[in-house]
Amino acid sequence: MNTTYTYLTRWFIVLTTLILCFSVKAQTTEHALPYFIKTAQINSPLLNDYNNQVISNKIDSLKLRATYGFIITGEANAGYSPNIKGWGYDNALTNGQSLFAGVRVVKEFISRNNLDTRLKAYDASIAQILAQKHLTIQTLNKQITDQYIATYSSQQRYELSREIISLLNQEDVILKKLTQSSVFKQTDYLTFKVTLQQNELTLQQQQADWQSNYALLNYLCGIVDTHFPALDTPSISKTPIPTDFKESVYTQAYKADSLKITNDSEIIKYNYKPKITAFSDGGYQSSFTQTPYKNFGLGVGVGVSIPIYDGHQKKMLLQQNQLALQTRQKYLEQTERQYQQQIFQIQNQMEQYYKMIGTATQQINYAKTLVEANARQLPTGDVRMVDFILSINNLLNLKGNIIQYNATLFNLQNQMQYLIIQ
């Protein structure tokens, strides 16, 4: 009995721990950058539009296959042209009256290569859509990450102000007692109190900025939420490796466009080849002039269309396609130069900000030590109030600078991760 109880107790503890772990993980995930990016992609109507365009092109491909298959239609028509005392249509032309009811089958014959070329046009269109979708995803991810960084930075500034106010409030309790005991000058205490109130006002402003940025982040992601839970540190690689240009969305788009233009040239050539159409119909057709009960039958036929002359339009269309290819190539070459230059600029800026953050971090250690030393000596009168406030402001400015440097560095890393040529 004791063994069973112990066994069940252990399992209960394990399950409870797992549930708590999953709960904490889920809560953390909802406040992390990947959650906002994924939600924005799910709610994006433009990405949904691209998905529907791909499906629509696949349906068009099936429609094209059906077009070159057997087309079967049921037809019926009846006509009556009266001729009264010689007035009316000539019966030799109209037969007076006629009736046709039957089934018609038509098929246009096309070579396998011709059909495959026309089907490839839809594959090329899908490739173009997917390239645009990829670029849209990159743009959306970058936009959401930029706003997440702005929100996280305002959150850090808000937390910094709370930290400073907490420090000042601790000193306020001590200084107030010393002032009441006439150990500390009232004017110095009032100076300190004004500084505290100014920081409290700054805290309110930074809280408003943080919540405003948070609301904008939710708006961009399509999230309806009035709560403002703390965000996690942006999950961006500190040393992002830029995508090789040959693997970038711009090269993919160029390949898709080139494939489409080249395929269009092949379709133009096939459009100027002879076309053969076969048809057959069967049913009832009669003018009711004699033995109408025998007018059941069938008919077959073949049609041939051979292009002869169209004013050299084929040659001009092919020239236009060649010009389009040359234009796309020039754009690609310019984009590649801009791409490489942007990588160099971002890497250079990142190095500079890493150095600035390292220098500012060293200065913070000294500034923090100075604030702590002044706080200990302030009650004894060995440090002036002005010097104490100045040391706090220096610490506040240094930490604020680091927050700004980190925000800029996050933005540079984000640019490197999603390189987009404007």
- Considering the domain architecture, whether residues 255 and 355 belong to the same structural domain is answered as yes
- Considering the domain architecture, whether residues 36 and 172 belong to the same structural domain is answered as yes
Residue 295 lies in a domain: yes
Residue 14 lies in a domain: no
Task: Say which residue, 401 or 180, is predicted with more confidence.
Answer: 401
Task: Give yes or no for residue 245 having a pLDDT over 50.
Answer: yes
As for how many domains the chain has, the answer is 2
Mean pLDDT of the chain: 85
SS3 annotation, 215-254: HHHHHHHCCCCCCCCCCCCCCCCCCCCCCCHHHCHHHHHH
DSSP string, 110-137: --HHHHHHHHHHHHHHHHHHHHHHHHHH
| CATH number for position 165 | 1.20.1600.10
β-pairing verdict for 275-286 and 83-84: unpaired
Task: Give yes or no for residue 55 having a pLDDT over 80.
Answer: yes
Nearest to 36 by CA among 232, 238, 242: 232
Residue 47 lies in a domain: yes
Mean pLDDT score, 256-274: 89
- Considering the domain architecture, whether residues 217 and 292 belong to the same structural domain is answered as no
- Considering the domain architecture, whether residues 352 and 331 belong to the same structural domain is answered as yes
- Considering the domain architecture, whether residues 200 and 86 belong to the same structural domain is answered as no
Nearest to 389 by CA among 190, 95, 112: 190
- Considering the domain architecture, whether residues 136 and 232 belong to the same structural domain is answered as yes
Task: Give yes or no for residue 25 having a pLDDT over 60.
Answer: no
Task: Give yes or no for residue 21 having a pLDDT over 50.
Answer: no
Nearest to 383 by CA among 175, 146, 88, 100: 175
- Helices then strands, counting H and E runs in the chain, come out as 9, 6
- Considering the domain architecture, whether residues 134 and 283 belong to the same structural domain is answered as no
Locate all alpha helices (DSSP H) within 31-44, ordered by sequence.
Answer: 33-43
Q: 75 is in which domain, residue-wise?
A: 69-109+274-306
Classify residue 271 by burial, with Cβ atoms within 10 Å: 0-12, 13-18, 19+: middle
- Considering the domain architecture, whether residues 153 and 218 belong to the same structural domain is answered as yes
Residue 394 lies in a domain: yes
Task: Give yes or no for residue 331 having a pLDDT over 80.
Answer: yes
- Considering the domain architecture, whether residues 342 and 410 belong to the same structural domain is answered as yes
- Considering the domain architecture, whether residues 96 and 201 belong to the same structural domain is answered as no
**CB under 8 Å to 12, separation ≥6 — which residues?**
none
- Considering the domain architecture, whether residues 81 and 182 belong to the same structural domain is answered as no
Mean pLDDT lowest among 174-188, 214-228, 399-413:
174-188
- Considering the domain architecture, whether residues 183 and 120 belong to the same structural domain is answered as yes
Q: Where are the beta strands (DSSP E) in 3-155?
A: 71-80, 83-84, 87-88, 97-109
Mean pLDDT lowest among 2-6, 44-48, 236-240, 344-348:
2-6
**CB under 8 Å to 145, separation ≥6 — which residues?**
33, 37, 234, 236, 414, 417, 418
- What is residue 209's predicted lDDT score, i.e. its pLDDT? 95
How remote is the C-alpha of 65 from its chain's centroid? 33
Q: What percent of the chain has pLDDT over 90?
A: 44
Residue 12 lies in a domain: no
Mean pLDDT score, 175-204: 85
**What three-state secondary structure class fits 70?**
coil
Report yes or no: 367 and 391 within 8 Å, Cβ to Cβ.
yes
Question: Which of 260, 283, 306 is the last residue before a domain boundary?
Answer: 306
